Every structure is written in structure tokens, then in C-alpha cells.
């Protein structure tokens, strides 16, 4: 059993596969006996994921800054909703409560959170695994770009390889579970 911190869109995206992936991931997290840690919103993919985890009997911890409670429609039906004063506290609290990290499709908030936790790992501040769910090839252009940062000499291969990717929720969960056990 582990605590999975998931970063994902406050919007749902156009393609129905995005919502379906969030729902499938929430169900899988609960069925594997894991706990979901996320940003605490009801909106977009964030809400889909939290509700699917709860519906499958899983535990969900949300972390919500006070100033976003209305704008992001804080989810008051979670196992625990942690209120924090600002965005920095949100990210630090989510990280402190997680054993591994995932990014689903999302916007610049999702990307910001993913890159911050990756850089914290690269700087030796944690050794927790992380990966992206590449549903609908959403992350393929980013993964190609990241490979080019290696070939251009701005990123080393071990750091690049810290970021896992998989096309399905089950495959990503399996890959992260394997890293947690290894």
C-alpha cells in the first residue's frame, strides 16, 4: 500500500479518453489498496479521479489552498481535506504525504507541479518515483522534447530516466509500484 500523489487538469480536456483514464486510475488506486493524494478540487479531471477512487472504496487526501476553495470547488466529501495558506504549502504538503507521483493530462498547473517534484528528485531532496500517463499521446511531444534536452547536453540520462511513462493507468501503476519495491 502506498500514497500516490496525482497532478492533473482542473479541466477535463476534449477527448473522452482523458476522463475515462482518470476514472480508471482512481478505481485502480483504490483496488490496489493505495491512497490518493491530490489538489482537493471537484472540477475537471481532478474531480473525476477523486470520485472514482472514493466510489471504489479508496482513501483520498485533498490539499487545497484557502484562496482556491471556491474557484476550484473544494471537494468536501474526501477522507481528508487539508487546507493550506498558499500554493507553495500545497505542493510541499502533497509531496510530504506521498510515496510516488503521477501526472495525467492537464494544463500549466499540472506541468508546473510535475517539473517541480522532478527537479526536487534531481537535486536529491527525495528518491520517490514519478511518471506521466501518456493517454492519447498527450505527453509524447514533451517526452520527445525531453529526449532532445539530453542529446543537446542539458540533461543527463539518469535524470531523464527518472520520469516513467505509460499509456494506460494499470501500466503506469505497475511501473511505479515496481520502482517502489525495487
Contacts with ligand AMP by CB under 6 A lie at: 9-11, 39, 41, 68, 72, 87, 90-91, 106-110, 112-113
* Contacts by 77-85, CB closer than 8 A, 24 or more apart: 78/40, 78/50, 78/54, 79/35, 79/54, 81/40, 82/40
> Toward ligand AMP, which CB reaches closer, 77 or 115?
115
Smallest separation (angstroms) from ligand AMP to the CB of 103: 9
Q: How many C-beta atoms lie closer than 10 Å to residue 158's C-beta?
A: 8
Residue 75 and residue 50 in contact, taking contact as beta carbons nearer than 8 Å: yes
> Toward ligand AMP, which CB reaches closer, 3 or 90?
90
> Toward ligand AMP, which CB reaches closer, 41 or 61?
41
Smallest separation (angstroms) from ligand AMP to the CB of 110: 3
Closest residue (Cβ) to ligand AMP?
Answer: 109
Smallest separation (angstroms) from ligand AMP to the CB of 153: 29
Smallest separation (angstroms) from ligand AMP to the CB of 36: 14
The most distant pair of C-alpha atoms in the chain lies apart, rounded to whole Å, by 47
Amino acid at each position: 500500500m502506498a500514497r500516490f500523489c496525482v497532478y492533473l487538469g482542473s479541466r477535463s480536456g476534449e477527448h473522452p479518453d482523458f476522463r475515462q483514464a482518470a476514472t480508471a486510475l482512481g478505481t485502480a488506486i483504490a483496488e490496489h489498496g493505495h491512497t490518493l493524494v491530490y489538489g482537493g478540487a471537484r472540477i475537471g479531471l481532478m474531480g473525476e479521479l477523486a470520485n472514482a477512487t472514493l466510489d471504489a472504496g479508496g482513501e483520498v487526501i485533498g490539499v487545497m489552498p484557502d484562496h482556491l476553495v471556491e474557484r476550484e470547488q473544494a471537494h468536501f466529501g474526501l477522507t481528508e481535506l487539508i487546507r493550506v495558506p498558499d500554493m507553495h504549502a500545497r505542493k510541499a504538503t502533497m509531496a510530504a504525504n506521498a510515496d510516488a507521483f503521477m501526472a495525467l493530462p492537464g494544463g500549466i498547473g499540472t506541468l508546473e507541479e510535475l517539473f517541480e517534484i522532478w527537479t526536487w528528485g534531481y537535486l536529491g531532496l527525495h528518491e520517490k518515483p514519478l511518471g506521466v500517463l501518456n493517454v492519447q499521446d498527450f505527453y509524447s511531444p514533451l517526452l520527445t522534447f525531453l529526449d532532445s534536452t539530453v542529446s543537446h547536453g542539458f540533461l543527463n540520462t539518469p535524470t531523464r530516466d527518472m520520469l516513467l511513462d505509460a499509456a494506460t493507468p494499470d501500466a503506469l501503476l505497475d511501473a511505479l509500484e515496481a520502482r517502489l519495491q525495487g
